[in-house]
Chain A
Amino acid sequence: GAVVSQHPSWVICKSGTSVKIECRSLDFQATTMFWYRQFPKQSLMLMATSNEGSKATYEQGVEKDKFLINHASLTLSTLTVTSAHPEDSSFYICSARPRGYEQYFGPGTRLTVT
């Protein structure tokens, strides 16, 4: 149980285009999902908290107009990187919390902007 999927697992896009990443909880409902960014050999950096039916809460320094988050249902949250630039290239990971303390992570999406 507590499986989280992400799609796509990797994507290459050209500078200036937008990319959408999906995060799904497969066997549980999650009122809250989280989006992280991770650089090589480093820890996870929380970007935003996604709440079903309401606006996402962004961490300080994260541009909400650049990283659009939509939590349309209890099993789906999407992250759209708008007008992507090479510096947005990174490993993006989502997590979902079925209840209580524990978060379960997706397998991540490798974004490369050329």
Chain B
Amino acid sequence: EAQVTQNPRYLITVTGKKLTVTCSQNMNHEYMSWYRQDPGLGLRQIYYSMNVEVTDKGDVPEGYKVSRKEKRNFPLILESPSPNQTSLYFCASSPGTGGDTQYFGPGTRLTVL
């Protein structure tokens, strides 16, 4: 089944404790992206990747890191999480760049205490 998977689905952590949210797709998509969803703000793009080893900042990249060492995986790293990073995170992938339809993972709800 074609899908985007994220792990974990739920995470409660404390300020400053490094964490990684994994994202994997099995559709051989070139483009992958991370978003955060906050009430009243919609989805905001954090980082995106156009292919292996090619990443760029979205609109809200501060406090996050990403890497794209393999085409299928695009982990989101929070080196020192803070409470303002409490949010619902979505990973997405699309076949290419240039406005292709994105397919989203199920979401990861992160709480930073």
> Is B one of A's binding partners?
no
Binding site for A on B (CB under 8 A): none
Residues of A within 8 A of B (CB): none
